[in-house]
Amino acid sequence: MATFSRRDFIKTAGLGAAGIGLYGLPAIRATMSGINRPHIVLFMSDDHGVLDSSPYGSKVVRTPNLDRLARESMRFTLAFAASPTCAPSRSALYTGRMPFRNGAHRNHSSVREGLKTLPHYFKELGYRVVLAGKVHVKPREAFPFEYLPGANRREPGKGRGLYMDLHTPAVDTLLAAHDKKRPLCLIVCSHSPHVYWPPNKEYDASAIDIPPTHVDTPVTRRVRTEYYTDVTLMDKRLGEVMASLEKHGYAGNLLFAYTSDQGAQWPFAKWNLYDGGIQVPLLVRWPGKIRPGSKTDAMVSLVDLLPTFMEAAGGRPPQDIDGRSFLPVLLGKKDKHRDVIFATHTRDGRMNDSPMRCIRTSTHKYVLNLKPDNTYTTHITNGNDQDGRDYWESWLEQAKTDEHAAQIVRRYQHRPAEELYDLRADPYETVNIADDPANKELVTRLRDRLAAWRKQQGEAEAGPEPLPETPRRERR
């Protein structure tokens, strides 16, 4: 991979050793124009659970384009979002800073004024920086993407908001017209498989897999087929974008990545710090650089994508962010990255007011619940049928006569102050072992490290600023 060092810059520009910064000056950008930097495309789905695709072990969900991409990519088995909620996760990815350091730690909140974000950095590197599809970060002026017109559309015959779909012909038009001599950084954000899920047309409800954290009812099975239908729709959109890139000649010099902003809108997933909420798929393809069909257990966070992409583009990642480049992992030079992962959840509007923080190692997860006395409610428990209320009601009904169902309902809505899970023996995090005397030392060590990290992040609160008294429409 070509790189552009400070020494090279001084030699080329004849400016002497004056310590001039590498980025931000038009003259420097022009000097760098001859570097063969890769086009960078990130395709990000919305609320896609890590286990709900064939490359990650599903025997049910049909994702042929993800299957193909996995064969051509490095597959990360331990990639994690900074938050299990849309806007905090995306804001963290685009800033390289965890939610409390960028300011957007509550859903629909804004990043702090004056922060540099992905489009700033990549414009300074000479890239055209485009976002197509879902946005869900604010304020917009803090994220000066070129927002692609026509990339969002309403699904025919349906309503507003959560019925939006990614319109890939707009992406195809962009790729056809773009001058490939200028490197392109393109972020493509699917609306699927975020609710509302479309009617099922291809999955057999009787053959659907039911996770051990769910209550197996006919309604659960029906709704799960709808979720899988939306996953397959997202996969179709992914395939359309991949086909456009190939058709228009981008494939050879292209770093292409696929991930999701967080887990799916199911209990113990989205809005939760269990792996169902924060673990995400991550596939990265770069012909000639990354070994096709490879797999890594290196632990990475989505805040690491920004510095990784920058280094791949020949830039120098900033030192004052939380993200760290894992380019050596991609290039096969290292097989480890982080020893722990941190994640936070604060609140989503007036629901989900059960703030929590976690630290995850390769073997264990420690969760700190800051308001354990709160009954945990989400759009699933308090929303409408299209949010999941229909199958939740069936869980409540079954819990009246089925103790297993009753335990699942209680565990979802009532959280202890501390949780500890052995992920090797209990990958679905169903048995809290925090109170086991044998784990006292481990709990203390993880608790102390999480406390030190929270202090470093500048947060010690149980939640954000009070919400206004006037009720507002709940959004996701």
- Is 466 inside a domain boundary? no
The model's pTM: 0.89
Give Cα 420 distance to the centre of its chain: 23
C-alpha distances (whole Å) from 433 to each of 59, 439, 440, 446 are 30, 7, 10, 13
**Together in a domain, 267 and 382:** no
For the four alpha carbons of 59, 64, 70 and 71, in that order, the dihedral sign comes to positive
User: Does 424 map to a domain?
Assistant: yes
Domain CATH for 397: 3.30.1120
Q: How many domains does the chain have?
A: 2
Residues 66 and 122 both lie in one domain = yes
Q: In terms of Cα–Cα distance, which of 48, 33, 26 is closest to 235?
A: 48
- pLDDT of amino acid 206: 96
Residue count of the chain = 476
Kindly give, in sequence order, each residue whose CB lies less than 8 Å from that of residue 452, ignoring residues fewer than 6 positions away.
Answer: none
Residue 352: predicted pLDDT? 78
The pLDDT value given to residue 157: 54
**Cα 198 from Cα 223, distance rounded (Å):** 10
Q: Is residue 7 part of a domain?
A: no
| Domain boundary residue, one of 335, 359, 381 | 335
Looking at the domain assignment, is residue 10 inside a domain? Answer: no
Query: In this structure, is residue 137 part of a structural domain?
Result: yes
pLDDT in tens, the chain (476 residues): 333 343 343 333 333 333 323 333 332 343 344 358 999 999 999 999 999 999 999 999 999 999 999 999 999 999 999 999 999 999 999 999 999 998 878 777 778 999 999 999 999 999 999 999 999 898 999 999 999 999 999 876 555 557 789 999 999 999 999 999 999 999 999 999 999 999 998 999 999 999 999 999 999 999 999 999 999 999 999 999 999 999 999 988 999 999 999 999 999 999 999 999 999 999 999 999 999 999 999 999 999 999 999 999 999 999 999 999 999 999 999 999 999 999 999 888 767 788 999 999 999 999 999 999 999 999 999 988 889 999 999 999 999 999 999 999 999 999 999 999 999 999 999 999 999 999 999 999 999 999 999 999 998 765 544 444 434 443 44
| Domain termination residue (choose one: 305, 335, 365) | 335
Does a structural domain hold residue 17?
no
Q: Are residues 200 and 280 in the same domain?
A: yes
State residue 459's pLDDT score. Answer: 86
Residues 224 and 351 both lie in one domain? no
Comparing CA positions, the residue from 118, 125, 121 lying closest to residue 33 is 125
Q: Which two tokens stand for residue 140?
A: 């917009």
Count of CB atoms within 10 A of residue 372's CB?
A: 15
In contact, 99 and 107? CB cutoff 8 Å: no
pLDDT score at 347: 82
Measured distance CA(48)–CA(393) in Å, rounded: 23
Quote the pLDDT of residue 351: 73
Q: CA separation (Å) from 122 to 252, 266, 369, 374?
A: 20, 35, 37, 43
The first and second tokens of residue 165, run together, are: 């779909």
Containing domain of residue 75, as a range? 24-335
Same domain flag for 185 and 281 = yes
Distance CA 113, CA 444 (A): 37
Q: Are residues 255 and 401 in the same domain?
A: no
Q: Tell me what pLDDT residue 224 has.
A: 97
Q: Where are the beta strands (DSSP E) in 37-182?
A: 39-45, 74-80, 128-133, 146-147, 152-154, 164-166
In this structure, how many other beta carbons lie within 10 angstroms of the beta carbon of residue 185? 28
Q: Half-sphere exposure of residue 211, counting CA atoms within 13 Å on the CB side? A: 21
Same domain flag for 137 and 106: yes
Determine the residue type at 163. Y
> 335, 366, 389: which is the final residue of a domain?
335
Domain of 142, CATH number, reads 3.40.720.10
